[in-house]
């Protein structure tokens, strides 16, 4: 299999913007995972919803959705994307 070269870099290795104006629209799905470590007391408080400042997981869900909406601002060289949905789940 031929390895594709990244086209966000010029011949001297400097980052450049790529023209995507002529590209066809494609459907893409992105999935990511994360891990947070905390002590047992904090974990129980989050799980039981007894944190004094409110719903930790609810706020984290909103923050995650807000981050999805700001993808082009958060990821270098990312063009504006049409996002049709975003879901944040906690096991």
Residue range 30-47, pLDDT digits in tens: 888 999 999 999 999 999
Residue 1 lies in a domain: no
Residue 76 lies in a domain: yes
Residue 38 lies in a domain: yes
Residue 58 lies in a domain: yes
pTM (predicted TM-score): 0.70
Distance, CA of 70 to chain centre: 9
Which long-range contacts does 64-69 make (Cβ < 8 Å, 24+ apart)?
64/88
Q: Judge whether residue 6 has pLDDT over 90.
A: no
How far apart (Å, rounded) are the C-alpha atoms in residues 43 and 35? 13
Q: Judge whether residue 15 has pLDDT over 80.
A: yes
Domain housing 88: 25-91
Distance from first CA to last CA of the chain, Å, rounded? Answer: 37
Q: Which two tokens stand for residue 85?
A: 């949905």
Q: How many domains does the chain have?
A: 1
C-alpha to C-alpha distances, 69 to 22, 24, 65, 82, nearest whole angstrom: 23, 21, 6, 9
Residue 10 lies in a domain: no
Summarize the confidence of residues 34-61 as an average pLDDT: 94
Residue 9 lies in a domain: no
Residue 73 banded pLDDT, cuts 50, 70, 90: very high
Q: Judge whether residue 62 has pLDDT over 60.
A: yes
């Amino acid at each position: 299999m031929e390895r594709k070269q990244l086209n966000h870099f010029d011949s001297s290795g400097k980052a450049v913007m790529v023209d995507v104006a002529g590209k066809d629209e494609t459907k893409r799905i992105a999935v990511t995972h994360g891990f947070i470590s905390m002590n047992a007391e904090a974990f129980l408080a989050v799980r039981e919803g007894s944190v004094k400042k409110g719903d930790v997981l609810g706020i984290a869900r909103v923050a995650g959705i807000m981050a999805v909406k700001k993808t082009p601002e958060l990821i270098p060289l990312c063009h504006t994307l049409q996002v049709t949905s975003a879901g944040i789940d906690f096991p």
